[in-house]
């Protein structure tokens, strides 16, 4: 088990990092580092002898967070940034229709279920809107705005 990166390397997270119950002072599930954040490797270790763990210092949040190798890419590797990530609360910026029928009015609140970062034409999101329970929609980034209510 040889680490891909070394102390001093700058890496990017490929997913949101949330507290799994081991981060001091944070609540389980609390967002620690947003997907796409850059951090510097300050230590390299292992977990259960079969997983490489990197301790990254994220300057923007002044946190050191342990990351698995599969959650990281090099800072110089290709990256498509998105405005939202899974579990973010959003609102529709326009009326959304399905088969010509209005299903989600402009301003309706919802939650991102999944991000399709590399979709042709730009990012797409699977969104569950509160007003149309049980029917997630695939929505383009331009049709969504940040909600004033955050999910923790």
Classified as helix, coil or strand, 130 is helix
- The whole-number pLDDT of residue 150 equals 47
- The whole-number pLDDT of residue 149 equals 53
Instruction: Note down pLDDT in tens along the chain; length 152 residues.
Output: 788 999 999 999 988 888 988 888 889 988 899 889 999 999 999 887 788 999 999 999 899 999 988 889 999 998 888 888 888 899 999 999 999 999 999 999 999 999 888 889 889 999 999 999 999 999 999 999 998 654 44
Write the burial class of residue 133 (CB in 10 Å: 0-12 exposed, 13-18 middle, 19+ buried): exposed
Q: Is 122 left (phi over 0), alpha (psi -120 to 50) or beta?
A: left
Which domains does the chain possess? 10-74 (2.30.30), 89-146 (2.30.30)
- The number of angstroms, rounded, from the C-alpha of 129 to the middle of its chain's C-alpha atoms is 19
H or E element: which one contains 141? none
pTM higher than the cut 0.75: no
Show the CA angle centred on residue 22, arms to residues 43 and 48, nearest 5°: 60
- The whole-number pLDDT of residue 22 equals 86
The order of strands in the sheet holding 10-13 is: 63-68, 51-58, 38-47, 10-13, 72-74
């Amino acid at each position: 088990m040889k680490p891909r990166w070394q102390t001093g390397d700058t890496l990017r997270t490929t997913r949101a990092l949330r507290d799994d119950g081991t981060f001091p002072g944070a609540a389980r599930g609390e967002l620690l580092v947003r997907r796409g954040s850059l951090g510097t490797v300050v230590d390299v270790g292992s977990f259960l002898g079969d997983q490489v763990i990197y301790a990254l210092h994220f300057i923007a949040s002044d946190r050191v967070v342990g990351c698995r190798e599969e959650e990281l890419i090099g800072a110089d590797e290709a990256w498509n940034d998105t405005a939202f990530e899974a579990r973010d609360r959003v609102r529709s910026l326009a009326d959304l229709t399905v088969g010509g029928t209005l299903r989600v009015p402009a301003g309706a609140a919802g939650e991102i279920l999944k991000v399709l970062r590399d979709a042709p034409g730009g990012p797409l999101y699977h969104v569950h809107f509160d007003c149309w329970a049980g029917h997630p929609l695939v929505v383009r980034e331009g049709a969504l705005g940040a909600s004033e209510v955050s999910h923790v």
